[in-house]
Amino acid sequence: MISSLSIHPKHYYHLQTFKQELSRVFEQNWIFVGFKDDLSKNNDFITITIGNTPVVVQNFNGQLSALLNICSHRKATLQQDVRGNRPLRCPYHCWSYKSDGVLSGVPQNRTDFGLDETEKKHLALKQFALDMCGELIFVRVTDTGTSLTEFLGPYFNILQRISTDFTDRVQEGSYLWNTNWKIACETVLEVYHVAGTHPETFANFAKAECEIEYFNGHTTGNTPLQDATHKWWAGARKHLKLEQHPDYKDYNHFFIYPNLAIGLTNGSLMSLQTYDPIDPTHTKLNYQLRMIKRSSGKATSEAVKMAVNINFTQFNHTILEEDRVVAESCQENMARSNTPGLLGKCEDRIRHFHNEWRLELDELDELDELDELLEGQSNV
């Protein structure tokens, strides 16, 4: 048999597995949090929960810092919106913080708290590792670990380039999927499902074949586009006065473990998606569409963006909806099955994703082996 076993179904809904994933997968790895242009102005901020840790990434007069998003005073959330612009000041009692997390202001300190500079430093917010890859911002909340360059390996140069080439925002949004985050990731890691799930959409867009490359849990899938897709984009670029990316001319898809997916369409459009775990059976899918920058250096006009919106945004939405329906049916059936699924060679990217997951949650594999042993004994 050339196929291999997938992750055991229970790991798609068990709370204990989910808790282990938050601490050992998400908190131990570099996690994409946003683009540099999301934080271009002083006091711009992004908030995200990485594993169990609420994080705020904020611009302090040009310096970006990733800090714990919990006030040291009475534990209120400091920045309550997903994105915005305001000083890092608690909305509860107005305690404020500097870029290194140290307290910069405590109302009524002299009369009611008496905190000196040393005590203010002891109350500093925890600061997390933050690094850039081109225009992409990554954060790691664990104290120790590899550098971002080591973590991404050969993908560092790839992401650095495409993030600086695809800069014009077209659209962004999010969806709530009633699935485990791993199932959501798996929907973009193979083309074997195209004929069944996307017969009128992606099947007409790209061919159901894929050339695969690997580095640890990160993978690339290069899929040839249909001739009609090549022709449509060639006409669109001519009309919109866009240049095609010289390196990526088909559907080039990059998955950065554990939850970042980037797809390039005919060297013209980038779709970036993240799959944020909410609980064992719910995932928030965030997406951004960005066009390649114009060779003239001028910004893409709103009319051009609207044209792309009309022709591609609905297409993107339809594909995601088709994936969601199938993914949610898989999630619903995980609790009804006690045997792992099979992964064929055409699903090798999922196998590499699973292998990296197993490396980080190795004791769960031991529990699987024990379960199988006990199940075998009960059947004797």
pTM: 0.92
The answer to whether residues 266 and 250 touch, using CB atoms and an 8 Å cutoff, is yes
Q: Is the pLDDT of residue 284 over 70?
A: yes
Share of residues in the chain with pLDDT > 70 (%): 91
Mean pLDDT (whole number) for 295-309: 67
Beta bridge partners of 136: 35, 133
Q: Is the pLDDT of residue 304 over 90?
A: no
The residue with greater pLDDT, 4 or 380, is 4
Q: Is the pLDDT of residue 1 over 70?
A: no
- So what's the pLDDT on residue 366? 52
Contacts of 54 (CB under 8 A, 6+ apart): 47, 48, 68, 69, 70, 77
- So what's the pLDDT on residue 177? 98
Mean pLDDT (whole number) for 179-185: 98
pLDDT, tens only, 328-380: 999 999 999 999 999 999 999 999 999 999 999 986 655 554 445 444 444 43
Mean pLDDT (whole number) for 127-151: 97
Q: Is the pLDDT of residue 245 over 70?
A: yes
Mean pLDDT (whole number) for 202-225: 93
- So what's the pLDDT on residue 380? 37
Other CB atoms closer than 10 Å to residue 88's CB: what's the count?
A: 23
Q: How far apart are CA 37 and CA 20, in angstroms?
A: 33
Mean pLDDT (whole number) for 58-72: 98
Q: How far apart are CA 138 and CA 149, in angstroms?
A: 11
pLDDT, tens only, 149-165: 999 999 999 999 999 99
pLDDT, tens only, 94-107: 999 999 999 999 99
Confidence class for position 242, pLDDT limits 50, 70, 90: confident
Q: Is 314 exposed, middle or buried (0-12, 13-18, 19+ CB in 10 A)?
A: exposed
- Dihedral pair phi/psi, residue 329, rounded to 5°: -70, -40
Count of residues for the chain? 380
Lowest model confidence (mean pLDDT) among 210-224, 260-274, 296-310: 296-310
Mean pLDDT (whole number) for 256-277: 97
- So what's the pLDDT on residue 376? 46
* Cis-peptide into 258, omega within 30 deg: yes
